[in-house]
Structure 1
Amino acid sequence: MLYSQTRTKLAQISDCLRQAGLWSTTAPSAQAMESTAPFACDLMPLEQWLQFIFIPRMQALIDAGQPLPSQIAIAPMAQHVWQNMGQLQLLIGVLNELDMLLNEPR
């Protein structure tokens, strides 16, 4: 159940990124992909981190039947980064829903 709910949220995040025009057809550089900063914020925008790092890693965990993170907080970062972009409130809401889903006691 948790896997299917998470997969649905990941698809919604992808859809929101596309609808907002934030979906990229070009991957970040190899250097950016190796960033160790939270959200790779030193080398890529949050939307690229979501598309190229977070979503693929979460899908890989689901596909492998591995445990999902139980303490995440992506929505606060999204709110901070996109606070003046009203058109991204739906995306921030979906990220908040994913945070709440994964942070629920299991």
Structure 2
Amino acid sequence: MDRYRQCRDLLTALETALRQAGLWESEAPAPTALASTAPFAVDTLTGSQWLQWVFLPRMCALVSAQAPLPGPFAISPYLEEALKEHPGCEAVLAVTRQLDALFGASE
């Protein structure tokens, strides 16, 4: 399967998992919170907010434009820690682990 299609499918699954876990928000954080330059915006956003408002839009834009996809990354270790207090986050983490695996084999 094409990498763009795999990525798109996983991003859709991630949104679904966030919604089902009750982690999806209807209102965006303040623009200043979204402008953080810290890794994962840890100083201004929760892990689920970072996924919804930073990671998903940026990755969806790359996939839609068929732009070059990022090199190897691993977001699950951070999210495992950030979401550990939230019950029902296992589905979210299962998808992020699949994304890590997909992008761990980047050329």
Q: TM-score range by the shorter chain?
A: over 0.9
Return the alpha-carbon distance in structure 1 between the equivalents of residues 106 and 11 of structure 2.
Answer: 20
Report the identity percentage. 40
Return the alpha-carbon distance in structure 1 between the equivalents of residues 58 and 83 of structure 2.
Answer: 23
1:70 deviation in Å? 1.8
Tell whether the 8 Å contact from 2:46 to 2:82 is kept in structure 1 after alignment. Answer: no
Return the alpha-carbon distance in structure 1 between the equivalents of residues 74 and 106 of structure 2.
Answer: 15
Structure 1 residues 101 and 50, CA gap change in structure 2 (3 angstroms): same
1:102 deviation in Å? 1.2
Q: Which runs of 5+ in 2 are unaligned?
A: none
RMSD (Å), alpha carbons: 1.2
Tell whether the 8 Å contact from 2:47 to 2:83 is kept in structure 1 after alignment. Answer: no
Return the alpha-carbon distance in structure 2 between the equivalents of residues 81 and 48 of structure 1.
Answer: 11
Partner of 2:63 in structure 1? 62
Paired letter, 1:50 = L
Partner of 1:100 in structure 2? 101
Return the alpha-carbon distance in structure 1 between the equivalents of residues 84 and 70 of structure 2.
Answer: 25
Return the alpha-carbon distance in structure 1 between the equivalents of residues 86 and 23 of structure 2.
Answer: 12
Partner of 1:80 in structure 2? 81
1:25 deviation in Å? 0.4
Q: Secondary structure at the match of 1:55?
A: helix
Which digits, 9 at most, give the CA deviation of each residue in 1:32-85, with x for residues without a partner? 110000111100111111111111100111111111112111111111112344
Structure 1 residues 85 and 30, CA gap change in structure 2 (3 angstroms): closer
Partner of 1:27 in structure 2? 28
Q: TM-score, normalized by length of structure 2? A: 0.92
